[in-house]
Chain A
Amino acid sequence: GENVEQHPSTLSVQEGDSAVIKCTYSDSASNYFPWYKQELGKGPQLIIDIRSNVGEKKDQRIAVTLNKTAKHFSLHITETQPEDSAVYFCAAILFSGGYQKVTFGTGTKLQVIP
């Protein structure tokens, strides 16, 4: 089955600096890679996603890159703000003919220091 590794498990950055979180996956058939942000006491919220036919996607201060050959994808947050502090999860999902298989990473706790 799919295995998703996420690093680092914790990350502290100064406000205004960039943060990068990396995930690797094992099943080359996975074709959808979302990133979720989870604040304390809340459910995860989708912040950005990328599909296997795209190498990079950007949405304001957030970007995701995908390297299918190496089977890894990364979340990049630029100009970090204190409100970016949360736990971030990556996921690798296989969609195929109405069937899907979801595997989440173990999460990264990001702390942005004012």
Chain B
Amino acid sequence: GAGVSQSPSNKVTEKGKDVELRCDPISGHTALYWYRQSLGQGLEFLIYFQGNSAPDKSGLPSDRFSAERTGGSVSTLTIQRTQQEDSAVYLCASSSPSRDEQYFGPGTRLTVT
């Protein structure tokens, strides 16, 4: 079946502009995660949604970052007033209620100029 999809695949924006990144999880997966991966670095946890529970936002680096998940499916990560240090690949993953493993999307490469 279809995997996790993310859009856009690439985004170039000017410093100070807002951006929205989208994640479509695998159908039926109740958990959704956002990570940030800077060049040559590991995965930095940002936020975690599990069903209807309040999201775990403990990884968001500043109040410029926010995320929502509508209808328990699609999620949008919003970065306001982008800065050059926000440049990275943003990865989304989802997992099912019955299994632990996370399935990752291909990521969105964000470049802030």
Using a CB–CB cutoff of 8 Å, the interface residues on chain A facing chain B are 6, 32, 34, 36, 41-46, 49, 51, 89, 91, 93, 95, 98-107
B contact residues vs A (CB 8 Å cutoff) = 4, 31, 33, 35, 41-45, 48, 50-51, 53, 56, 91, 93, 100-107
Q: Is the interface of A mostly helix, strand, loop or mixed?
A: strand
Interface of B is mostly: strand
Total CB contacts across the A-B interface at under 8 A: 55
In the complex, which residues of chain B have a beta carbon less than 8 angstroms from the beta carbon of A45?
A: 104
Q: How far is the CB of A32 from chain B (nearest CB, A)?
A: 5
Q: Bound state CA distance, A105 and B56, in angstroms?
A: 20
Given A89-B42, A93-B100, A104-B45, also A43-B33 (CB < 8 A): no
Known: A98-B53, A102-B48, A106-B41. A46 touches B91 (CB 8 A): no
A49 touches B42 (CB 8 A): no
Contact (Cβ within 8 A) B100 A44: no
B102 to chain A: which residues have CB within 8 Å?
A: 34, 46, 102
Chain A proximity of B102: nearest CB distance (Å): 7
Q: Which residues of A contact B56 (CB under 8 A)?
A: 99, 101
Instruction: Please state if A95 and B91 are interface contacts (CB–CB under 8 Å).
Output: no
